[in-house]
Structure 1
Amino acid sequence: MADSDNTTTLPRVTRRGVLAITANAKEGRQPKKLVGDHAEAVQSADPAVAAWREWLIAHKEVERLCHQQQRLERNLVETIGFPCATIPLHDGTSVRLHSIQALNEVLGSGPEDEAVRAKSKADLETHQQRWEAADREIGYSAALIAEGEAADQAENLLQLLLETPAASLAGVAAKLDAVLSEGEPAEACAEFPWPHIRSVLGDVIRIGQEVMPEQILTNRLGTSKCGRRRGCIIGISNGAKGDAA
């Protein structure tokens, strides 16, 4: 008597739910009725997807704060300018310096240099005070600190995600998405290991297409204004229309 086949095949709608999770979570959309409760069950069952969602919230907050502090810094630079002092040199030229240390490195110890040092130090301190007053008024340093704290939180959640075993293709894609988003220095970077990671992501997409050959898994990558990668969105589109399901 032949052995019975104990292999269990996921229901068709459940497979669809697994592959659509990342797109739905990334774009803030709810799964369509076709997926329904099955997709909700799959999403809840994959701890990697849950960890990825937590990381994504933190990642978006870092980007928001990054944009905010960059805007505030531009405001300070345009209105106040980086604190500096212009130092006349013995050869008739001048140099702009931004710290007391740089000032001491350029000037000697003679009486003439000491006079220049005293005036330049006073100019630099006055400029620094103007910068700090404007900083307090618009909240630049506070935004910079908040960005750093948010980045630490996102890094901790990324580590948690990478330590969480994936239970579905969506979980695997989510982990690859986070790695590319946080690590790849530029889009389509040719340095190791980024082409290899993109290749693995391509394998996940290919396997998904083999599981559901009538569907197309799309992989969209972009770059945020802060220079960080925005992650891949793995979803399902119908035919040539390219509409995510």
Structure 2
Amino acid sequence: MSTQAPQILVADDDSEIRKLLARYMREQGFRVLLASSCMEVSEKIVLHQLDLIILDVMLPDGSGLDLCRDLRAARSNIPIILLTALQEDVDRIIGLEIGADDYLGKPFNPRELAARVRAVLRRGVNARPEPRPTGLYQFEDFVVDPSLRSVRDPQGRTITLTGAEFDLLIIFLDRPGRVLSREQLLDLAGRSGADVLDRSIDVLVSRLRRKLSNDSAPQLFKAIRNGGYQFAARVSTVDGRP
């Protein structure tokens, strides 16, 4: 029996864009709900099980950036793709810093948006990954469970990560000590088609540094000049394999 198609919410104040995206995304096999304001987005989140939100930055009753920030502050892990007409790279980076999983600048090709939606869903928190044979990862008294997609700090508290943050962490944990270039990380994260100016890897590493900060632990993610990043801590698994 086939599984139910992912349900996505398209939030944009332009009725023509909403109609276009609704028609195209349904043709691509998605179930689609629509919203034209921050208030409608909040209502849909309460009433429906959403797999992903396509969120315009400029909405009539507020900013999509503020709404994204509020959702992450409320520990919502619903994947979010921002639609933005802002051309400055720094504005797009702000969206990623506050917890968005991806962004796409207007005007855009609906085919590219659909591809990004699929990529985010593949790596997102709503995916159902197969249990990994290596079990739990451990480093600096942190414990990571890939099958549950959970992270616990040395005090046993759960650390909330977005889907993109968690998948990037797993990439590093699978390759401790290796220097990984931004291009390698983009490819391993399924974002090899990202824009040349896309600094999402830098933003995600910065967010992981902040969330996994520990006064007693060394710098976990080392920036290597002209190289990329290196996960510096020793990583082991529950059965003791390094």
**Is the structural similarity TM-score above 0.5?**
no
Relative contact order (C-alpha < 8 Å, sep 6+): which is higher? Answer: 1
What TM-score, normalized by structure 1, do the two folds share? Answer: 0.23
Structure of larger gyration radius? 1
- The structure whose residues are more often helix, as a share, is 1
What TM-score, normalized by structure 2, do the two folds share? Answer: 0.23
